[in-house]
Structure 1
Amino acid sequence: MDIVTEIKKGNRRAIARAISIIENNEKDAKSIIKKIFKNSGNSMKIGITGPAGAGKSTLINRTSLELNKLGYKTAVLAIDPTSHITGGAILGDRVRMTESTDSGTYIRSMASRGATGAISTSLRNSIRILEYAGFNPIIIESVGAGQTEVDIEKVVDMTVVVFNPNTGDSIQTIKAGLTEIGDVYLINKSDLPGSNQLFDSVRDFIGMSEKNPVVMMVSAKSNKGVAEFAKKLVEIMKSRQKTKAKEEASKLDLELRDIVLNNVKNKVTTMLDSSKSYATYLKKVQSRKIDPFEAADKISKGLV
């Protein structure tokens, strides 16, 4: 079976296998990307982020159903914190998203593997696999930890930030980065006490910013406001289509730099491991004959 042909047909087993290759086998991954790269970069990518417990998975499940009703073919990549025991992803999200899977949505959990903000090469290339299979839009759900929420912006075309009154979110506790990246801010679980106050403070604090984001209230559990949210996403996708080529060019610039820097880093690490000069200077630093800055300058000159 030619995996690339099968991906194009939308064969789900081939898609799953290809994403596993992307995550685990660099050589085969490169060969697949080489074949499909020309046909990538056309799908809209929606980042959905926010603190743990904000109800993102239920929201994505319901939103995918609404987007599919509007004629879209949605896929979801849920980035999970790496399971330290297996190195795999924690699959809780899939359990909460079974309804949308039945309607044709493709869902895949990916381990973040400790990548900075989980924006690793495997995420970018998994998106390409899904694009090649004809999915549009592709929703990327990120964990609400560390830098992830802010870094997700480097990969997606628009960002949705989800809060809910239960997680103790208030304007005082919301991380600075989150207040700058959203195109849409959602107050989920809007039937809970405190949601109106949170909505007002988010609208006053973030809604008036230069970016002028949309602020909405939804309750994913009772499906209240989700259809309106999906329509708003479609509206934003259509307006973003005009600047997509320019945005895509700048994302490819970032990606190429990442790959080159990573290649150089690996090369330098290998060189240092076998360098007599490095070993000599290291001993000098360890015996306090020379400081690390001076040693690093001398070693670097020898490498360039």
Structure 2
Amino acid sequence: MDMESLRAGRRGSVARAITMAENDADGAEEMLRVIYPETGRSDIVGMTGPAGAGKSSLINGLAIELAKSGDRPAVLAVDPTSHITGGAILGDRVRMGASTDSGVYIRSIASRGATGALSDSLRNSIRILEYAGFDPIIIESVGAGQTEVDISNIADVTVVVFNPHTGDSIQTIKAGITEIGDICVINKADLPGSSALYDAVRDYIGESDRSPAVLKTSVKENTGIGELASTIRERLRAAAPSAPQRRARRLEAETKDIVLNHLRRRLDTMFAPGGSAHHIMESVREGGTDPYEAARRICGTLGE
């Protein structure tokens, strides 16, 4: 890996570095250890919401707006994974094409079945983009299951995107506000029902300790995107004093994940034919022991 090109933010080097991290290729861990001291300084913005809310188009407009003011944004889109190929299904990201002309770097990351559909490589990809000089980094989630909560644990500011035609229930809206949302956006505000949804969201603001901002945007009419960019900056400034505590929590969670990944690889080796756990599993299959005793014995060998 050409570290000088990566540091300069050259797109080819950034793409190769992220691919190395995603595939856990030879040299990936060494590269990540080298860049680590120069990371942790970029602002992270999470964008989440149900499918059809218009997140990709909104992020495209937001990234262009941020780039106009001198920022160098990048976008990581966490996509559902093909069970056959393991690749990101939505990799083309055609709706974000315009922002790449403004110097925005866009990358899709396959979720690969990670807990909460959050890719194991997401943190490493963020770190690579930080090293390459991108700031802020926008993370778009798949908008399903536990992913939104996972994204909010990584992001400095989380934006929850709603749209009047996605059929969001009051319970969904309330959860988005009270659990993760720093900013709630009623997107596609040009559609009928947007004002009613805006009012419904504002009605729940009083029940949230976060006191999220509520905005209306329309990519079609190019309205509200500048206000969204300004509000994100305001929220990032307000969150700055608590940044050291958030960073400490993230580092602890990351270290746990690294340990678990190492254990997972070691277990895969142990359970492979000829591995130390293989004969124990043969005993389980033959009725000589039960899975609980087998697990206890296997765990005992992990400390050896």
Alignment TM-score > 0.5, same fold: yes
- The residue that corresponds to 1:40 in the other structure is 39
Residues 1:293 and 1:176: Cα distance change in structure 2 (over 3 Å): farther
**What amino acid does structure 1 have at the position aligned with 2:253?**
L
**1:172 paired to 2:171:** yes
- Is the 1:161–1:182 Cα contact (8 Å) retained in structure 2? yes
Cα 1:193–1:248 change in 2 (3 A) is same
* Alpha-carbon offset, residue 84 of structure 1: 3.4
Q: Which runs of 5+ in 1 are unaligned?
A: none
Instruction: Tell me the CA shift for residue 265 of structure 1.
Output: 3.4
Displacement after TM superposition at 1:144 (Å): 1.1
| 1: CA distance, partners of 2:110 / 2:230 | 30
Cα gap change, 1:264 to 1:280, in 2 (>3 Å): closer
1:212 and 2:211 matched? yes
Could you tell me which amino acid in structure 2 is paired with residue 153 of structure 1? S
Matches within 5 A, 1:253-264: 253-264=252-263
Indicate how the Cα distance of structure 1 residues 87 and 233 shifts in structure 2: closer, same or farther if over 3 A, else same: same
Name the counterpart of 1:138: 137
Partners of 2:238 and 2:26 in 1: CA distance: 38
Q: How far is 1:108 from its partner? A: 1.0
The alpha-carbon distance between structure 1 residues 271 and 21, as it changes in their structure 2 partners (threshold 3 A), is closer
Q: Which residue does the alignment assign to 1:83?
A: 82
Q: Which runs of 5+ in 2 are unaligned?
A: none
CA distance 1:222–1:92, change in 2 (3 Å): farther
Provide the C-alpha distance between the structure 2 equivalents of 1:99 and 1:43, rounded to a whole number of angstroms. 23
Q: Deviations over 1:138-174 (max 9, x none)?
A: 0000101122111112222111111111111121355
Q: Which residue of 2 aligns with 1:122?
A: 121
Q: Secondary structure at the match of 1:27?
A: coil
Please identify, of 218-227 and 89-98, the stretch whose mean Cα deviation from structure 2 is larger: 89-98
User: Are 1:236 and 2:238 counterparts?
Assistant: no
* CA separation of 1:278 and 1:184: change in aligned 2, threshold 3 A: same
CA deviation profile, 1:107-138 (whole Å, cap 9, x unmatched) = 11111112123433311111111111111000
Counterpart-to-counterpart distance in 2, 1:290 and 1:250: 41
> In the alignment, residue 12 of structure 1 is paired with which amino acid?
R
Q: Would you say 1:270 and 2:285 are equivalent positions?
A: no
Distance 2:23 2:249 in 1: 27
Which stretch has the larger CA shift, 207-216 or 275-284? 275-284
SS at match of 1:121: coil
| Aligned partner letter, 2:120 | T
- Name the aligned partner's letter for residue 51 of structure 2: A
Deviation at 1:198, TM superposition (A): 1.6
Return the letter of the residue paired with 1:245: P
Does the CA-based 8 Å contact 1:207-1:215 persist in structure 2?
Answer: no
Residues of 1 paired with 2:66 and 2:91: CA distance?
Answer: 22
In the aligned structure 1, how far is the partner of 2:19 from the partner of 2:159?
A: 27
1:44-59 alignment to 2 at 5 Å? 44-59=43-58
Q: Give yes or no for contact 2:178–2:208 (8 Å, CA) kept in 1.
A: no
The 10-residue stretch of structure 1 (259-268 or 191-200) with the greater mean CA deviation from structure 2: 259-268
CA distance in 2, matches of 1:221, 1:150: 29
Give the C-alpha shift of residue 34 in structure 1: 1.8
Q: Match of 2:119, as an amino acid? A: S
Deviation digits for residues 157-216 of structure 1 (CA, Å, limit 9, x no counterpart): 111111111111121355846740111111111121222222222222255311221121
- Structure-2 residue corresponding to 1:158: 157
Letter in 1 for 2:158: T
Q: Per-residue displacement from partner, 1:34-66 (whole Å, max 9, x unpaired)?
A: 221100000001010111110000100111111
Match of 1:5 in 2: 4
**1:104 shift after superposition:** 1.2
Cα distance, 1:83 vs. partner? 2.7
> Aligned letter for 2:32?
I
Relative to structure 1, the CA distance from residue 282 to residue 153 in structure 2 (aligned partners, 3 Å threshold; closer, same or farther) is: farther
Partner of 1:283: 283
Cα offset for 1:80?
Answer: 1.2
Measured in 2, the distance between the counterparts of 1:7 and 1:108 equals 15
> Aligned AA for 1:114?
G
Normalised by the length of structure 2, the TM-score is 0.89
- Aligned residue for 1:96, secondary structure, equals helix
- Per-residue CA distance 1:199-242 (angstroms, 9 max, x = gap): 22222225531122112111122111111010000111122222
